């Protein structure tokens, strides 16, 4: 496997074309922050089908992918438009099988995190203290119980629930910056992105900016995703809209609040996809279409980190 440190820059179109295939298990991570929306839209544009989407918080981009007919199955721990309302397509599919049924696998947040940890660490299972007495194991055969080989505090046998690994065919995450080899640096809320990348067969990292090697190397602890775990790196400014990129642009709460009404009406939802996804050739057009007013509204000021000294041998 030569070339772990080679130049892996490509376009979002080419990254999705190369790495997301019909029937794949696709993980899209980013907890409220750095949601890979642009990548989700490109998957819609390219008409992928029968995907299993793995995402802790199934929110707007998942609702859009569902509405576009890309998704057969969803694995998640939260299905909602954050605190701003419901996901119309998702609820229709789960509650009424309209326009088509959706296979749904339900975990809690930490259950999902542990599935990524098990996947990243090539473990057959990962133990966690959740689920004891919950009804979730009764509807999710992935949640099972194991007896500890060590005695509990009372000397008796201790039981604990475990979850299985997830090994996505491809994980896609958004980050603030990376070098051309894919060493990716994230700050602010970093969620479970690194584990989701490590758990995957292939990984695409979409970034606000590709920076000079020297920028990344000036702060190696900031690299949460090392190049050897990355297959493609894509520069795509504002690729996380309507979510935010700490230090680059703020969350578009107006859009979040508007989504409940859009997605509650199948016709409006179809029109939205036609106008904003199918009607734009790439994310740069989507951003241009957003317009200067929205960009101004989401602009953020500076709050720079104090530098640390890595030192240099004299």
Partner 1 sequence: MAPVTSSELVSVVAARELADTGTVFAGIGLPTLAASLAQHTVAPDLEVVYESGVCGAHPDGLPETIADAVLVTGAEAVLDMPTLFGSVLQGGHIDVGFLGAAQIDRWGNLNSSVIGDWHAPRVRLPGPGGATEVMAGADAVFVVMRRHDPRSFVDELDFCTSPGPDRALADGVRPAGRGVTRVITDLGVLSRDGVGQELTLTALRRGVSVERVRAATGWPLRVAADPATLADPTDAELATLRTAIDPERVYLR
The binding site for a second copy (CB under 8 A) comprises: 122-129, 144-146, 148-150, 152, 158, 160, 162, 164, 176, 185, 187-188, 190, 215, 218-219, 221-222, 246-248, 250, 299-314
Dihedral of alpha carbons 32, 34, 36, 38, sign: positive
Long-range contacts of 264-272 (CB under 8 A, 24+ apart): 264/86, 264/88, 265/88, 266/67, 266/88, 266/89, 266/92, 266/99, 269/67, 269/88, 269/89, 270/67
Least distance (Å) between residue 289 CB and a second copy: 23
272 binds, among partner 1, a second copy, none (CB under 5 to 8 A by kind): none
User: Quick one: which of 21, 78, 142, 266 contacts partner 1 (CB under 8 A)?
Assistant: 78
**Exposed/middle/buried for residue 12 (C-beta within 10 Å: 0-12, 13-18, 19+):** buried
Q: Tell me how far apart the alpha carbons of residues 272 and 255 are, in angstroms, rounded to a whole number.
A: 12
Q: Tell me how far apart the alpha carbons of residues 268 and 245 are, in angstroms, rounded to a whole number.
A: 28
Q: Tell me how far apart the alpha carbons of residues 193 and 19 are, in angstroms, rounded to a whole number.
A: 17
Least distance (Å) between residue 159 CB and a second copy: 9
User: Quick one: which of 18, 94, 215, 284 contacts partner 1 (CB under 8 A)?
Assistant: 94
91 binds, among partner 1, a second copy, none (CB under 5 to 8 A by kind): partner 1
Least distance (Å) between residue 193 CB and partner 1: 8
Least distance (Å) between residue 165 CB and a second copy: 9
User: CA 65, 61, 49 angle in degrees (round to 5)?
Assistant: 20
Least distance (Å) between residue 281 CB and partner 1: 30
User: Quick one: which of 38, 54, 79, 211 contacts partner 1 (CB under 8 A)?
Assistant: 79
The answer to whether 141 contacts partner 1 (rule: CB under 8 A) is: no
The answer to whether 183 contacts partner 1 (rule: CB under 8 A) is: yes
The answer to whether 273 contacts partner 1 (rule: CB under 8 A) is: no
The answer to whether 91 contacts partner 1 (rule: CB under 8 A) is: yes
226 binds, among a second copy, partner 1, none (CB under 5 to 8 A by kind): partner 1
The answer to whether 117 contacts partner 1 (rule: CB under 8 A) is: yes
User: CA 86, 264, 206 angle in degrees (round to 5)?
Assistant: 65
Residue (131 or 272) nearer to a second copy, CB: 131
Written as six digits, the tokens of 258 are: 């508007």
User: Would you give the distance in Å from CA 279 to the centre of its chain?
Assistant: 24
């Amino acid at each position: 496997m030569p070339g772990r440190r080679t130049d892996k820059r490509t376009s979002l179109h080419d990254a999705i074309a190369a790495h997301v295939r019909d029937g794949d298990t696709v993980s899209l991570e980013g907890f409220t922050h750095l949601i890979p929306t642009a990548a989700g839209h490109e998957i819609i544009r390219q008409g992928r089908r029968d995907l299993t989407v793995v995402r802790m918080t199934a929110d707007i981009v998942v609702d859009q992918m569902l509405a576009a007919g890309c998704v057969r199955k969803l694995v998640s721990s939260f299905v909602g438009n954050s605190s701003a309302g419901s996901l119309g397509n998702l609820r229709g599919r789960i509650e009424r099988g309209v326009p088509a049924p959706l296979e749904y696998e339900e975990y809690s947040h930490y259950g999902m995190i542990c599935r990524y940890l098990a996947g990243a660490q090539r473990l057959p299972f990962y133990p966690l203290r959740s689920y004891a007495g919950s009804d979730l194991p009764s509807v999710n055969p992935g949640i099972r119980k194991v007896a500890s080989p060590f005695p509990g505090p009372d000397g008796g046998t201790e039981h604990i629930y475990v979850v299985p690994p997830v090994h996505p065919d491809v994980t896609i995450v958004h980050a603030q910056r990376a070098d051309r080899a894919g060493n990716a640096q994230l700050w602010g809320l970093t969620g479970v992105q690194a584990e989701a990348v490590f758990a995957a067969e292939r990984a695409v990292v979409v970034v606000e900016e590709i920076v000079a090697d020297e920028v990344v190397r000036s702060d190696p602890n900031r690299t949460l995703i090392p190049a050897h775990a990355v297959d493609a790196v894509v520069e795509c400014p504002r690729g996380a809209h309507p979510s935010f990129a700490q230090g680059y642009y703020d969350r578009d709460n107006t859009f979040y609040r508007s989504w409940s009404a859009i997605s509650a009406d199948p016709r409006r939802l179809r029109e939205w996809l036609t106008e904003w996804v199918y009607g734009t050739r790439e994310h740069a057009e989507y951003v241009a279409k957003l317009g200067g007013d929205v960009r101004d509204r989401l602009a953020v000021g500076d709050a720079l980190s104090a530098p640390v000294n890595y030192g240099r041998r004299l």
